[in-house]
Structure 1
């Protein structure tokens, strides 16, 4: 598992070129703020947005806030300049690399960050998040997931991938194979799996259905593109009291079984084994992280 265990129930994408939205974002209940220099910033505005974000980064990352920056894709005129500029006086928790199509994209960013950290004499390892939003990236997702120890997260990007495939993001069933591919690659390589945003941000019913679907599949969280989406996303990916109570019972029952030399035990008519206990442990960890992210004590109820 990656050393970066920051909870990412909700990841709010904010245009780095809009200073009003940047100001507002730091006070919102997003577990992670993703300042965007890519799709939400037109080409002519990218240099100015990069300079402004670099100047404000020390303040934006203060108090342990989880901050990511979505840079432009590898091979564009802006990517390497953004990485260099945004690691001068401060650094984000991670960089989100969009349109990742092969493991070489991740390897490039890994080497660049290694050189930057070496030059600064820093022992900090800036993370990478891979945005899977091209057919080639989805096809090679397992290679991408294994490309770097810096990699923290796989994110499914609906807008670009949907456009490339000719698919609507609204039909959740159509996206099940892609969601499974991202989730399986993430779990295989010890990464977090984050579902992409529901683009119709005024469609509360559609948003809720998408949140519940992603949570049921096993995703760790979901991107948001508007503040109004945050409350439902956070609620969907926060374990309920009943789920926490059941996980605690599973943990206790498994501990009792192991003490008596048994590898499995029955609990309320269900067979509990180490695999079920592992799932319970993951849920309790998510509960603890959620409590910490919300500024409440992390104790279990």
Structure 2
């Protein structure tokens, strides 16, 4: 991890509805393997919190619990005053949590615009009959959603690609489409799973600038999993470090970078086995 000064921007005003996300002693076990061991962290409203660690540290497992894909063995996850650990993914999304994925999960044959419209699904009020029969109410609602899709595409910088099938877009643009689709859910908190993975240097810088705009312009809370430590140091207010499922450090980026346990984890000194990409 290279030492980088914390980014100079002060925390922007949070979205008026931005809730606090509190993870309290979260534990996840799979057939005797402890993937998360009493992990705690708090994402303050309007902040950008980074969750980092070597491969196999438990970052993806944590994201999957937060979004309802995995069930916790014990512990608590609260968004505002609502406990999430027993809720299905669609219920969690309805509370205002959206996520992107480490591996792109777009519908390649659909246009970019239609991929973004999928993100508007939970906000749709018109029934299938009205939509299918193209009744006036359904048409008006679709126009509103299409207009909002266009606004979000412009905000993220992909408006010129709205008519293009997502599968034909360059990889870096597809990553932006995935971010835009998450924003189309109108979230209050956004989980970003390695948003610059596989990008070149210019694309990484551009995505970092976009994430600053998302935070400043929309006032969202962001929880970021990322291996680009320079990017983490520039963007994050707070960093939580996992290693083999346990929290080993937390605090501002500069302090975390100097922590001996973090240095040990990243350099591999004292390691106790091979890591798996899956956790």
State TM-score, norm by structure 1. 0.30
Q: Return the TM-score normalized by structure 2.
A: 0.32
Judging by fraction of residues, say which structure has more strand.
2
Higher helix share: 1
